[in-house]
Amino acid sequence: MTAIEAPSRIEPARIENPSSELVDLSLEVVAKAELLGRALHPETAAQLARTVRIMNTYYSNLIEGHNTRPREIEQALDGIEPLDDRRDLKIEAVAHYRVQQNIDERAAAATLPDPASLDFIRQLHRDFYAGATEKMLTIAGNNRSFIMVPGEWRRGNEQDVEVGRHLPPASDRVADFMAYFHRRFAFEPESNEKMLAVGPSRSARLFAMATAHHRFNYIHPFPDGNGRVSRLMSHAMAHAAGIGAHGLWSISRGLARGLAGGPKGRAEYKEYMAWADEQRQGERDGRGNLSRKGLELFTGWFLRVCVDQLDYMGSLFDLDALGGRLKRYVDRHETLPAEAARLLQEALVRGAFERGEAPRITGLPERSARRLLKALTDEGLLASTTEKGAVSLRFPTHALDILFPRLYPEGV
Ligand SMILES: Nc1ncnc2c1ncn2[C@@H]1O[C@H](COP(=O)(O)OP(=O)(O)O)[C@@H](O)[C@H]1O
Ligand SMILES: [Mg+2]
Protein backbone atom coordinates (compact mmCIF):
# COMPACT_ATOMS: atom_id res chain seq x y z
CA MET A 1 0.00 0.00 0.00
CA THR A 2 1.41 3.41 -0.86
CA ALA A 3 1.85 5.81 2.03
CA ILE A 4 -0.73 8.17 0.65
CA GLU A 5 -3.52 5.60 0.84
CA ALA A 6 -2.85 4.46 4.41
CA PRO A 7 -5.53 5.67 6.84
CA SER A 8 -2.80 7.05 9.09
CA ARG A 9 -2.67 9.77 6.44
CA ILE A 10 -5.13 11.63 8.72
CA GLU A 11 -2.58 11.81 11.56
CA PRO A 12 -2.27 13.79 13.69
CA ALA A 13 -5.99 13.15 14.24
CA ARG A 14 -6.14 14.73 17.67
CA ILE A 15 -4.62 17.42 19.85
CA GLU A 16 -2.29 15.44 22.09
CA ASN A 17 -0.48 18.15 24.05
CA PRO A 18 -2.73 21.21 23.94
CA SER A 19 -1.16 24.64 24.26
CA SER A 20 -2.28 26.76 27.20
CA GLU A 21 -4.26 28.87 24.72
CA LEU A 22 -6.26 25.83 23.58
CA VAL A 23 -6.77 24.66 27.17
CA ASP A 24 -8.08 28.09 28.17
CA LEU A 25 -10.40 28.20 25.17
CA SER A 26 -11.82 24.78 26.01
CA LEU A 27 -12.48 25.85 29.61
CA GLU A 28 -14.23 28.97 28.34
CA VAL A 29 -16.47 26.92 26.03
CA VAL A 30 -17.42 24.56 28.86
CA ALA A 31 -18.18 27.40 31.30
CA LYS A 32 -20.25 29.36 28.80
CA ALA A 33 -22.21 26.33 27.62
CA GLU A 34 -23.08 25.51 31.21
CA LEU A 35 -24.52 28.98 31.80
CA LEU A 36 -26.45 29.21 28.54
CA GLY A 37 -30.17 29.08 29.08
CA ARG A 38 -29.85 28.27 32.77
CA ALA A 39 -32.29 30.99 33.82
CA LEU A 40 -34.87 30.03 31.20
CA HIS A 41 -37.99 28.10 32.01
CA PRO A 42 -37.78 24.63 30.37
CA GLU A 43 -40.87 25.35 28.24
CA THR A 44 -39.36 28.60 26.93
CA ALA A 45 -36.03 26.85 26.36
CA ALA A 46 -37.74 24.11 24.33
CA GLN A 47 -39.38 26.71 22.07
CA LEU A 48 -36.05 28.49 21.65
CA ALA A 49 -34.34 25.22 20.72
CA ARG A 50 -36.80 25.00 17.84
CA THR A 51 -35.79 28.48 16.66
CA VAL A 52 -32.12 27.51 16.96
CA ARG A 53 -32.70 24.37 14.88
CA ILE A 54 -34.25 26.40 12.08
CA MET A 55 -31.28 28.74 12.31
CA ASN A 56 -28.79 25.87 12.17
CA THR A 57 -30.58 24.38 9.18
CA TYR A 58 -30.50 27.72 7.42
CA TYR A 59 -26.78 28.29 7.97
CA SER A 60 -25.65 24.72 7.32
CA ASN A 61 -27.42 24.66 3.96
CA LEU A 62 -26.23 28.20 3.23
CA ILE A 63 -22.61 27.04 3.53
CA GLU A 64 -23.44 24.59 0.74
CA GLY A 65 -24.84 27.53 -1.26
CA HIS A 66 -28.47 26.56 -0.70
CA ASN A 67 -30.31 29.63 0.46
CA THR A 68 -33.55 28.39 2.03
CA ARG A 69 -34.93 31.27 4.05
CA PRO A 70 -35.98 30.77 7.69
CA ARG A 71 -39.58 31.64 6.90
CA GLU A 72 -39.67 29.03 4.15
CA ILE A 73 -38.19 26.44 6.49
CA GLU A 74 -40.79 27.22 9.14
CA GLN A 75 -43.62 26.88 6.63
CA ALA A 76 -42.12 23.73 5.09
CA LEU A 77 -42.16 22.08 8.51
CA ASP A 78 -45.96 22.16 8.27
CA GLY A 79 -45.94 20.61 4.80
CA ILE A 80 -44.61 21.23 1.29
CA GLU A 81 -46.83 21.76 -1.76
CA PRO A 82 -46.20 19.17 -4.51
CA LEU A 83 -45.82 21.82 -7.22
CA ASP A 84 -43.67 24.23 -5.24
CA ASP A 85 -40.71 25.24 -7.42
CA ARG A 86 -38.45 25.34 -4.34
CA ARG A 87 -39.64 21.93 -3.23
CA ASP A 88 -36.21 20.20 -3.31
CA LEU A 89 -34.60 22.89 -1.15
CA LYS A 90 -37.47 22.62 1.30
CA ILE A 91 -37.28 18.82 1.46
CA GLU A 92 -33.58 19.13 2.28
CA ALA A 93 -34.17 21.80 4.94
CA VAL A 94 -36.93 19.84 6.67
CA ALA A 95 -34.76 16.71 6.68
CA HIS A 96 -31.87 18.66 8.24
CA TYR A 97 -34.19 20.06 10.89
CA ARG A 98 -35.61 16.63 11.74
CA VAL A 99 -32.20 14.98 11.97
CA GLN A 100 -31.07 17.64 14.41
CA GLN A 101 -34.30 17.38 16.37
CA ASN A 102 -33.70 13.66 16.70
CA ILE A 103 -30.16 14.31 17.95
CA ASP A 104 -31.42 16.86 20.49
CA GLU A 105 -34.15 14.53 21.72
CA ARG A 106 -31.83 11.58 22.07
CA ALA A 107 -29.28 13.73 23.87
CA ALA A 108 -32.00 14.83 26.31
CA ALA A 109 -33.04 11.21 26.88
CA ALA A 110 -29.38 10.14 27.29
CA THR A 111 -29.76 7.69 24.41
CA LEU A 112 -27.47 9.40 21.89
CA PRO A 113 -25.10 6.83 20.37
CA ASP A 114 -21.39 7.46 20.07
CA PRO A 115 -21.31 10.32 17.50
CA ALA A 116 -18.13 8.91 15.93
CA SER A 117 -19.64 5.47 15.39
CA LEU A 118 -19.89 4.57 11.74
CA ASP A 119 -23.48 3.32 12.03
CA PHE A 120 -24.48 6.67 13.49
CA ILE A 121 -22.71 8.69 10.80
CA ARG A 122 -24.15 6.60 7.97
CA GLN A 123 -27.59 6.92 9.54
CA LEU A 124 -27.19 10.72 9.63
CA HIS A 125 -26.52 10.67 5.89
CA ARG A 126 -29.42 8.28 5.24
CA ASP A 127 -31.85 10.39 7.28
CA PHE A 128 -30.63 13.65 5.79
CA TYR A 129 -31.46 12.31 2.32
CA ALA A 130 -34.70 10.57 3.33
CA GLY A 131 -37.32 11.88 0.94
CA ALA A 132 -34.73 13.23 -1.51
CA THR A 133 -35.72 13.02 -5.16
CA GLU A 134 -33.60 11.25 -7.78
CA LYS A 135 -32.55 14.66 -9.06
CA MET A 136 -31.24 15.60 -5.60
CA LEU A 137 -29.25 12.37 -5.46
CA THR A 138 -27.77 12.66 -8.92
CA ILE A 139 -24.09 13.58 -8.91
CA ALA A 140 -22.99 14.89 -12.27
CA GLY A 141 -19.92 16.60 -13.68
CA ASN A 142 -16.35 15.60 -14.69
CA ASN A 143 -17.76 13.33 -17.42
CA ARG A 144 -19.65 11.18 -14.97
CA SER A 145 -23.13 10.85 -13.58
CA PHE A 146 -24.41 8.52 -10.91
CA ILE A 147 -27.14 8.31 -8.31
CA MET A 148 -25.90 8.49 -4.76
CA VAL A 149 -27.18 5.87 -2.31
CA PRO A 150 -27.88 7.61 1.03
CA GLY A 151 -25.82 6.17 3.88
CA GLU A 152 -23.29 4.44 1.59
CA TRP A 153 -19.62 5.42 1.44
CA ARG A 154 -18.11 6.45 -1.89
CA ARG A 155 -16.95 3.54 -4.03
CA GLY A 156 -15.52 3.03 -7.51
CA ASN A 157 -13.39 5.51 -9.44
CA GLU A 158 -16.31 7.52 -10.70
CA GLN A 159 -17.16 8.51 -7.12
CA ASP A 160 -13.76 10.08 -6.40
CA VAL A 161 -14.01 13.70 -5.24
CA GLU A 162 -12.01 16.89 -4.97
CA VAL A 163 -12.57 19.52 -2.29
CA GLY A 164 -11.06 22.79 -3.38
CA ARG A 165 -7.35 22.03 -3.74
CA HIS A 166 -7.57 19.00 -1.49
CA LEU A 167 -7.72 15.48 -2.94
CA PRO A 168 -9.43 13.08 -0.50
CA PRO A 169 -8.57 9.37 -0.44
CA ALA A 170 -9.68 7.27 -3.40
CA SER A 171 -13.23 5.98 -3.08
CA ASP A 172 -12.20 2.37 -2.58
CA ARG A 173 -10.12 3.39 0.44
CA VAL A 174 -12.96 5.18 2.23
CA ALA A 175 -14.16 2.18 4.27
CA ASP A 176 -10.65 1.68 5.71
CA PHE A 177 -10.21 5.38 6.40
CA MET A 178 -13.55 5.53 8.20
CA ALA A 179 -12.75 2.43 10.26
CA TYR A 180 -9.57 4.26 11.31
CA PHE A 181 -11.57 7.46 11.92
CA HIS A 182 -13.75 5.53 14.34
CA ARG A 183 -10.77 4.06 16.17
CA ARG A 184 -9.30 7.54 16.68
CA PHE A 185 -12.51 9.43 17.44
CA ALA A 186 -14.68 6.95 19.38
CA PHE A 187 -16.15 8.65 22.43
CA GLU A 188 -17.18 5.26 23.81
CA PRO A 189 -14.45 2.91 22.60
CA GLU A 190 -14.47 -0.87 22.89
CA SER A 191 -12.10 -1.91 25.66
CA ASN A 192 -9.36 -3.00 23.26
CA GLU A 193 -9.44 0.37 21.42
CA LYS A 194 -9.28 2.59 24.50
CA MET A 195 -5.67 3.60 24.09
CA LEU A 196 -6.22 5.17 20.69
CA ALA A 197 -9.70 6.61 21.15
CA VAL A 198 -11.08 9.81 22.69
CA GLY A 199 -12.87 8.28 25.67
CA PRO A 200 -14.84 10.10 28.35
CA SER A 201 -12.66 13.13 29.12
CA ARG A 202 -14.63 16.28 28.46
CA SER A 203 -11.73 18.36 27.19
CA ALA A 204 -10.52 15.48 24.98
CA ARG A 205 -14.04 15.29 23.53
CA LEU A 206 -14.10 19.02 22.91
CA PHE A 207 -10.80 18.99 21.01
CA ALA A 208 -11.96 15.88 19.14
CA MET A 209 -15.16 17.69 18.12
CA ALA A 210 -12.97 20.19 16.30
CA THR A 211 -10.40 17.86 14.79
CA ALA A 212 -12.96 15.17 13.82
CA HIS A 213 -14.85 17.88 11.94
CA HIS A 214 -11.86 18.50 9.75
CA ARG A 215 -10.63 14.92 9.43
CA PHE A 216 -14.11 13.73 8.44
CA ASN A 217 -14.28 16.30 5.65
CA TYR A 218 -10.70 15.50 4.70
CA ILE A 219 -11.75 11.88 4.08
CA HIS A 220 -14.97 13.13 2.45
CA PRO A 221 -16.55 9.68 2.81
CA PHE A 222 -19.78 10.37 0.88
CA PRO A 223 -20.14 11.55 -2.71
CA ASP A 224 -22.06 14.62 -1.46
CA GLY A 225 -23.58 15.95 1.76
CA ASN A 226 -20.33 15.64 3.75
CA GLY A 227 -20.44 19.22 5.00
CA ARG A 228 -24.00 19.02 6.28
CA VAL A 229 -23.50 15.58 7.83
CA SER A 230 -20.25 16.72 9.48
CA ARG A 231 -21.99 19.71 11.02
CA LEU A 232 -24.72 17.43 12.39
CA MET A 233 -22.03 15.07 13.70
CA SER A 234 -20.33 18.03 15.40
CA HIS A 235 -23.66 19.04 16.91
CA ALA A 236 -24.03 15.52 18.33
CA MET A 237 -20.43 15.64 19.58
CA ALA A 238 -21.18 18.92 21.34
CA HIS A 239 -23.99 17.18 23.23
CA ALA A 240 -21.74 14.22 24.01
CA ALA A 241 -18.99 16.56 25.23
CA GLY A 242 -21.50 18.14 27.62
CA ILE A 243 -21.60 21.53 25.88
CA GLY A 244 -24.88 21.09 23.99
CA ALA A 245 -26.83 23.43 26.33
CA HIS A 246 -30.09 21.62 25.46
CA GLY A 247 -29.86 22.62 21.82
CA LEU A 248 -29.70 26.37 22.55
CA TRP A 249 -26.71 26.99 20.31
CA SER A 250 -25.15 25.28 17.36
CA ILE A 251 -21.99 25.46 15.38
CA SER A 252 -23.27 26.17 11.85
CA ARG A 253 -23.99 29.87 12.36
CA GLY A 254 -20.41 30.31 13.50
CA LEU A 255 -18.91 28.28 10.66
CA ALA A 256 -20.96 30.28 8.16
CA ARG A 257 -20.10 33.70 9.57
CA GLY A 258 -16.62 33.21 11.02
CA LEU A 259 -15.21 35.71 13.50
CA ALA A 260 -14.35 38.72 11.34
CA GLY A 261 -17.88 39.34 10.06
CA GLY A 262 -18.81 40.25 6.48
CA PRO A 263 -17.26 38.59 3.42
CA LYS A 264 -13.95 38.05 5.26
CA GLY A 265 -15.69 36.11 8.00
CA ARG A 266 -17.59 34.01 5.48
CA ALA A 267 -14.30 32.87 3.92
CA GLU A 268 -12.75 31.77 7.23
CA TYR A 269 -14.24 28.25 7.39
CA LYS A 270 -12.72 27.19 4.09
CA GLU A 271 -9.43 28.94 4.86
CA TYR A 272 -8.99 27.19 8.18
CA MET A 273 -10.09 23.84 6.75
CA ALA A 274 -7.38 24.30 4.14
CA TRP A 275 -4.79 25.02 6.87
CA ALA A 276 -5.60 21.67 8.42
CA ASP A 277 -5.15 19.93 5.03
CA GLU A 278 -1.48 20.97 4.95
CA GLN A 279 1.26 18.37 4.87
CA ARG A 280 3.68 18.30 7.79
CA GLN A 281 6.17 21.15 7.49
CA GLY A 282 9.43 19.72 8.75
CA GLU A 283 10.81 18.41 12.04
CA ARG A 284 9.07 20.78 14.39
CA ASP A 285 5.61 20.12 13.02
CA GLY A 286 4.65 16.93 14.82
CA ARG A 287 5.24 13.39 13.67
CA GLY A 288 2.16 12.67 11.54
CA ASN A 289 1.61 12.93 7.82
CA LEU A 290 -0.26 16.23 8.16
CA SER A 291 0.79 19.47 9.80
CA ARG A 292 0.30 19.61 13.56
CA LYS A 293 0.44 23.39 13.43
CA GLY A 294 -2.31 23.43 10.78
CA LEU A 295 -4.55 21.27 12.94
CA GLU A 296 -3.91 23.47 15.98
CA LEU A 297 -4.71 26.60 13.98
CA PHE A 298 -7.98 25.08 12.84
CA THR A 299 -8.85 23.89 16.37
CA GLY A 300 -8.12 27.30 17.88
CA TRP A 301 -10.35 28.95 15.31
CA PHE A 302 -13.11 26.36 15.78
CA LEU A 303 -13.12 26.85 19.57
CA ARG A 304 -13.10 30.65 19.24
CA VAL A 305 -16.11 30.29 16.95
CA CYS A 306 -17.81 28.22 19.68
CA VAL A 307 -17.08 30.93 22.28
CA ASP A 308 -18.38 33.62 19.94
CA GLN A 309 -21.62 31.72 19.29
CA LEU A 310 -22.12 30.96 22.98
CA ASP A 311 -21.62 34.64 23.81
CA TYR A 312 -24.06 35.70 21.15
CA MET A 313 -26.74 33.16 22.10
CA GLY A 314 -26.19 34.02 25.77
CA SER A 315 -26.86 37.68 25.00
CA LEU A 316 -30.05 36.78 23.11
CA PHE A 317 -31.41 34.47 25.77
CA ASP A 318 -30.59 36.62 28.77
CA LEU A 319 -33.90 36.87 30.63
CA ASP A 320 -33.87 40.63 31.24
CA ALA A 321 -32.77 41.45 27.72
CA LEU A 322 -35.32 39.09 26.18
CA GLY A 323 -38.04 40.59 28.38
CA GLY A 324 -36.99 44.03 27.12
CA ARG A 325 -37.21 42.95 23.48
CA LEU A 326 -40.64 41.37 24.00
CA LYS A 327 -41.76 44.74 25.33
CA ARG A 328 -40.19 46.47 22.32
CA TYR A 329 -42.14 44.15 20.04
CA VAL A 330 -45.37 45.22 21.74
CA ASP A 331 -44.41 48.92 21.61
CA ARG A 332 -43.77 48.68 17.88
CA HIS A 333 -47.13 47.09 17.14
CA GLU A 334 -49.90 49.63 17.39
CA THR A 335 -52.56 46.95 17.47
CA LEU A 336 -51.13 45.60 20.73
CA PRO A 337 -51.88 47.58 23.92
CA ALA A 338 -49.09 47.98 26.49
CA GLU A 339 -50.64 45.31 28.75
CA ALA A 340 -49.67 42.70 26.14
CA ALA A 341 -46.09 42.96 27.37
CA ARG A 342 -47.19 41.80 30.81
CA LEU A 343 -48.64 38.59 29.39
CA LEU A 344 -45.48 37.89 27.41
CA GLN A 345 -43.31 38.61 30.45
CA GLU A 346 -45.43 36.25 32.57
CA ALA A 347 -45.01 33.47 30.00
CA LEU A 348 -41.27 34.15 29.82
CA VAL A 349 -40.77 33.88 33.57
CA ARG A 350 -43.24 31.12 34.39
CA GLY A 351 -43.03 29.14 31.16
CA ALA A 352 -46.83 29.03 30.83
CA PHE A 353 -49.98 30.44 32.39
CA GLU A 354 -53.68 29.54 32.31
CA ARG A 355 -55.90 31.62 30.04
CA GLY A 356 -58.15 32.47 32.99
CA GLU A 357 -55.25 34.29 34.64
CA ALA A 358 -55.06 36.95 31.90
CA PRO A 359 -57.34 39.52 33.68
CA ARG A 360 -55.31 39.32 36.88
CA ILE A 361 -51.96 39.57 35.06
CA THR A 362 -53.01 42.54 32.92
CA GLY A 363 -55.37 44.29 35.32
CA LEU A 364 -57.86 44.47 32.44
CA PRO A 365 -61.56 43.53 32.55
CA GLU A 366 -62.30 39.95 31.50
CA ARG A 367 -63.42 40.71 27.94
CA SER A 368 -60.51 43.00 27.10
CA ALA A 369 -58.06 40.51 28.59
CA ARG A 370 -59.55 37.74 26.46
CA ARG A 371 -59.34 39.92 23.33
CA LEU A 372 -55.71 40.69 24.11
CA LEU A 373 -54.92 37.02 24.57
CA LYS A 374 -56.47 36.33 21.20
CA ALA A 375 -54.42 39.10 19.57
CA LEU A 376 -51.24 37.53 20.92
CA THR A 377 -52.16 34.03 19.80
CA ASP A 378 -53.09 35.46 16.36
CA GLU A 379 -49.63 37.06 16.23
CA GLY A 380 -48.19 33.62 16.98
CA LEU A 381 -46.38 34.87 20.10
CA LEU A 382 -48.44 32.76 22.50
CA ALA A 383 -49.84 29.30 21.87
CA SER A 384 -51.05 26.21 23.67
CA THR A 385 -50.93 22.55 22.76
CA THR A 386 -54.68 22.13 23.36
CA GLU A 387 -57.34 24.67 22.44
CA LYS A 388 -58.17 25.82 25.98
CA GLY A 389 -54.86 24.83 27.57
CA ALA A 390 -52.24 26.97 29.27
CA VAL A 391 -50.36 29.28 26.88
CA SER A 392 -46.62 29.58 26.49
CA LEU A 393 -44.26 31.69 24.38
CA ARG A 394 -43.50 31.04 20.74
CA PHE A 395 -40.90 32.71 18.56
CA PRO A 396 -42.39 33.00 15.07
CA THR A 397 -39.99 33.89 12.27
CA HIS A 398 -41.72 37.21 11.52
CA ALA A 399 -40.88 38.42 15.04
CA LEU A 400 -37.21 37.42 15.02
CA ASP A 401 -35.85 40.73 13.68
CA ILE A 402 -36.95 42.38 16.90
CA LEU A 403 -36.67 39.47 19.33
CA PHE A 404 -33.31 38.14 18.14
CA PRO A 405 -31.44 40.78 16.18
CA ARG A 406 -28.61 39.52 13.95
CA LEU A 407 -29.69 35.88 14.24
CA TYR A 408 -29.83 35.96 10.46
CA PRO A 409 -28.10 38.19 7.95
CA GLU A 410 -30.26 41.18 7.04
CA GLY A 411 -33.03 40.67 4.55
CA VAL A 412 -33.62 36.92 4.75
N1 LIG B 1 -10.06 22.36 2.24
C2 LIG B 1 -10.99 21.55 2.76
N3 LIG B 1 -10.62 20.41 3.38
C4 LIG B 1 -11.53 19.59 3.90
N5 LIG B 1 -12.85 19.83 3.86
C6 LIG B 1 -13.27 20.94 3.27
C7 LIG B 1 -12.39 21.86 2.69
N8 LIG B 1 -13.10 22.88 2.18
C9 LIG B 1 -14.40 22.60 2.42
N10 LIG B 1 -14.52 21.43 3.07
C11 LIG B 1 -15.77 20.77 3.54
O12 LIG B 1 -16.45 20.21 2.45
C13 LIG B 1 -17.84 20.51 2.57
C14 LIG B 1 -18.51 20.40 1.21
O15 LIG B 1 -18.60 19.02 0.85
P16 LIG B 1 -19.95 18.38 0.30
O17 LIG B 1 -19.82 16.91 0.24
O18 LIG B 1 -20.38 19.11 -0.95
O19 LIG B 1 -20.95 18.68 1.48
P20 LIG B 1 -22.38 19.39 1.39
O21 LIG B 1 -23.04 18.86 0.13
O22 LIG B 1 -23.10 19.02 2.63
O23 LIG B 1 -22.04 20.83 1.35
C24 LIG B 1 -17.84 21.88 3.19
O25 LIG B 1 -19.05 22.20 3.84
C26 LIG B 1 -16.71 21.76 4.20
O27 LIG B 1 -17.16 21.17 5.40
MG1 LIG C 1 -22.33 19.34 -1.82
Which domains does the chain possess? Answer: 3-317 (1.10.3290.10), 319-403 (1.10.10)
Does the beta carbon of 273 sit less than 6 angstroms from any atom of ligand 1? yes
- Collapse the DSSP code of 391 into the 3-class scheme (helix H, G, I; strand E, B; otherwise coil) and give the result: strand
Does the beta carbon of 129 sit less than 6 angstroms from any atom of ligand 1? no
Confidence of residue 2 (pLDDT cuts 50, 70, 90): low
User: Over the stretch 265-276, which tens digit does the pLDDT of each residue have?
Assistant: 999 999 999 999
User: Over the stretch 288-308, which tens digit does the pLDDT of each residue have?
Assistant: 999 999 999 999 999 999 999
Average pLDDT over the chain reads 96
Confidence of residue 224 (pLDDT cuts 50, 70, 90): very high
Does the beta carbon of 227 sit less than 6 angstroms from any atom of ligand 1? yes
Mean pLDDT to the nearest integer, 330-352: 96
Task: Give the residue, out of 88, 257, 273, 301, with the most ligand 1 atoms within 8 A of its beta carbon, to mutate for a pocket test.
Answer: 273
Q: Which atom of ligand 1 is nearest to the CA of 63?
A: 25
Does the beta carbon of 114 sit less than 6 angstroms from any atom of ligand 1? no
Q: Which atom of ligand 1 is nearest to the CA of 223?
A: 17
Does the beta carbon of 164 sit less than 6 angstroms from any atom of ligand 1? yes
Give dist(CA 181, CA 336) in Å, integer.
56
Give the H/E segment covering residue 144.
Answer: strand 144-147
pLDDT score recorded for residue 4: 56
Q: Which atom of ligand 1 is nearest to the CA of 229?
A: 22
Give dist(CA 301, CA 214) in Å, integer.
12
User: Over the stretch 39-64, which tens digit does the pLDDT of each residue have?
Assistant: 999 999 999 999 999 999 999 999 99
| Closest C-alpha to ligand 1, atom 7 | 273
- Collapse the DSSP code of 252 into the 3-class scheme (helix H, G, I; strand E, B; otherwise coil) and give the result: helix
Does the beta carbon of 224 sit less than 6 angstroms from any atom of ligand 1? yes
pLDDT score recorded for residue 125: 98
C-alpha atoms less than 13 angstroms from C-alpha of 248 in its C-beta half-sphere: 30
**Model confidence at 337: pLDDT above 80:** yes
pLDDT score recorded for residue 141: 85
Does the beta carbon of 163 sit less than 6 angstroms from any atom of ligand 1? yes
Mean pLDDT to the nearest integer, 62-83: 96
Confidence of residue 142 (pLDDT cuts 50, 70, 90): confident
Work out the end-to-end distance of the chain between its first and last CA atoms, rounded to an integer number of angstroms: 50
Pair type for strands 138-141 and 144-147: antiparallel
Burial 191-209 (b: 16+ CB within 10 A, else e): eeeeeebbeeeebbbbbbb
pLDDT score recorded for residue 165: 93
pLDDT score recorded for residue 412: 81
| Closest C-alpha to ligand 1, atom 13 | 227
Q: Which atom of ligand 1 is nearest to the CA of 218?
A: 4
The pTM assigned to this predicted structure is 0.96
Q: Which atom of ligand 1 is nearest to the CA of 217?
A: 5
| Ligand nearest to the CA of residue 139, numbered in listed order | 2
pLDDT score recorded for residue 411: 78
**Cα of 214 to ligand 1 centre, how many Å?**
9
User: Over the stretch 375-386, which tens digit does the pLDDT of each residue have?
Assistant: 999 999 999 999
pLDDT over 90, % of the chain: 95
Confidence of residue 5 (pLDDT cuts 50, 70, 90): confident
Mean pLDDT to the nearest integer, 230-243: 98
- Collapse the DSSP code of 378 into the 3-class scheme (helix H, G, I; strand E, B; otherwise coil) and give the result: helix
